[in-house]
Structure 1
Amino acid sequence: MEKSDDRPVALVTGATSGLGLAIAQSFIDAGFIVFGAGRRQNPENLPAGLIYVRTDVTSNDSVEECRNYILSNAGRIDVLVCGAGSGISGSIEDTPISEAQAQLDVNFFGVVRTVQAFLPAMRQQKSGKIIVIGSIAGRIGMPFQAFYSASKFALEGFVESLRHEIRAFNIQACIVEPGDFRTGFTSARRKLVRPGSAYTSQFEKAIGVQEHDELHGALPALAGKRIVQLASARSLPVRVTIGPLFERFAVWVRRILPDSWFEAFYKIYYKL
């Protein structure tokens, strides 16, 4: 790769699996120079054309090394997609604080580290787009996924604030809120339930419904194409919800229904 290459440059974190992998593939198909970041030492089945940069978003040094590598090789960064994430589930009472902190460190502070690392280059360019992968769970609190939801709710406020700060530098930001997609995220989710927990029965019912919805969710390629469309658009909206129609409708309904009504619906839906 030469710095004179005039193709736009994109970085996708969490690019070794799930939505991140699909997003990276879509950017490659659209003709971008695509760097993909992930924690795996030697990931398999990466798409042709992806430039892999091993990166741990929970490490300041690792994120800075990733930035330095990309800027030294490509000379610029046009699109930053923060897609690295993980999930834990379990009752609030059963979840150790260390596990909750680790969840926030990946899903929230991992985004913060990455954005902070690349903003100086975008300011110097006076251009750039930042697309943060949130979740519908960042708009509607999910039973037995309190800390996952908390990490995604935090991203909502982060992106809203970020947009105000970077507008003067011709940089844009957007949060994308996926619903359920068929990825390895379901099998990778860590379940934290103590032996003999008072919450076991409710937990199993709720997670059973959630996993069923995930396994029957939308195809990841659809998310990849939508995010490339956003990256290529003239301006970014504050937020975009993607995924199954029913779930996007639920986010809309949440804004207008009384809280007690929506809670009653969730109680029925998740068999609580």
Structure 2
Amino acid sequence: MSKVVFITGASSGIGRTVGLYLHNKGYQVFGTSRSPEKYKDEVPFPLLELDVTHPDSIANAIGEIISRKGAIDVLVNNAGVGITGPIEETPTPEIRNAFETNFYGPLHVIKAVLPQMRKQGNGHIINVTSIAGYMGLPYRGIYSATKAALEVTTEAYRMETKQFGVEMTNIAPGDFATNIASGRYHAPLMEGSPYKEAYGNTLQMMNQHVDEGKDPTEMARAIHRIIETKHPKTHYKVGAFLQKFSIVLKRVLPGKMYEKMLMRHYKL
């Protein structure tokens, strides 16, 4: 039997592309969306209703997959939200929502799926993080923090779950041409704000990077390779060379030099 793959946030963007790619490769794909009725005719795999911030909806979706297939072999923790803005001016409820969705949400899903994977004696959990999680980026600091938290937590979780035959992996994408920019929260550009000019310029640059991003099929291919790898690595990065190289530079450059490099890049 082909593997049963469970993908959160599969109605659009990277999640949808991964779902379509794996479906075409013969996997039994189940995707999720907060509003599956809107998208059910747009994908060839089942879309289940799920909100990662509501544990009851997670339990219901997982229960339905298990009742239909008797197993969940792979979880792709993809659902997430974008957020931009000066940290000082970003509303606290929006900061909390970003952490609830990007960090606590994936943890809720992992907790709900692990009992089934333990029962099976195997499973693979792939957490979609971000290259932005490897560095504090100006006006993306909250987003970077949510993804960094998931990266580090996965490192610990991976060691805890190996005894059950469960693998856990991070995959960090760079900029991809998806609809993430239109769906993320942008702190408003406020008249009289000391950040208005710098934030406005950086926001324009960030949106341009997404528009010019790579084809998300590259992420789908990478996730397919990871699924087929017997002993996957802890961390994978997928994106433009300079985005991946920026992680290497952070390791080797003095902190102030790296900071100056980022500020030049963002024209700050």
TM-score by length of 2: 0.97
Partner of residue 268, structure 1: 264
Cα offsets for 1:85-108 (capped at 9, x unmatched) = 011111111111111000100000
Cα offsets for 1:116-149 (capped at 9, x unmatched) = 0000000111100000000011101111111111
Whether 1:237 and 2:233 are equivalent positions in the alignment is yes
Gaps of 5+ in 2: none
Partner of residue 3, structure 1: none
Residue among 217, 227, 252 paired with 1:221: 217
Letter matched to residue 94 of structure 2: E
Cα offsets for 1:148-190 (capped at 9, x unmatched) = 1110010011100111100011110000010000000012122
Letter matched to residue 25 of structure 2: A
d(CA) in 2 for partners of 1:40, 1:81:
19
Q: What is the root-mean-square deviation of aligned Cα atoms in Å?
A: 1.1
Deviating beyond 4 angstroms after TM superposition, the runs of 4 or more aligned structure 1 residues are: none
Whether 1:100 and 2:95 are equivalent positions in the alignment is yes
User: Shift of the alpha carbon at 1:197?
Assistant: 1.7
Whether 1:182 and 2:168 are equivalent positions in the alignment is no
Residue among 123, 131, 147 paired with 1:128: 123
d(CA) in 1 for partners of 2:176, 2:93:
28
Letter matched to residue 197 of structure 1: S
Letter matched to residue 85 of structure 1: G
Q: Percent identity?
A: 32
User: Shift of the alpha carbon at 1:196?
Assistant: 2.6
d(CA) in 2 for partners of 1:225, 1:266:
30
Letter matched to residue 159 of structure 2: H
3-state SS in 1 of match to 2:127: strand
Letter matched to residue 209 of structure 2: D
Letter matched to residue 195 of structure 2: Y
3-state SS in 2 of match to 1:42: helix
3-state SS in 2 of match to 1:93: helix
Whether 1:210 and 2:170 are equivalent positions in the alignment is no
d(CA) in 2 for partners of 1:58, 1:16:
17
TM-score by length of 1: 0.95
User: Shift of the alpha carbon at 1:233?
Assistant: 0.8
Partner of residue 192, structure 2: 196
Whether 1:62 and 2:63 are equivalent positions in the alignment is no
Gaps of 5+ in 1: 1-5
d(CA) in 1 for partners of 2:3, 2:263:
46
Partner of residue 86, structure 1: 81
d(CA) in 2 for partners of 1:127, 1:77:
9
Whether 1:251 and 2:247 are equivalent positions in the alignment is yes
Whether 1:162 and 2:125 are equivalent positions in the alignment is no
User: 75-84 or 190-199, which moves further after superposition?
Assistant: 190-199
Letter matched to residue 114 of structure 1: V
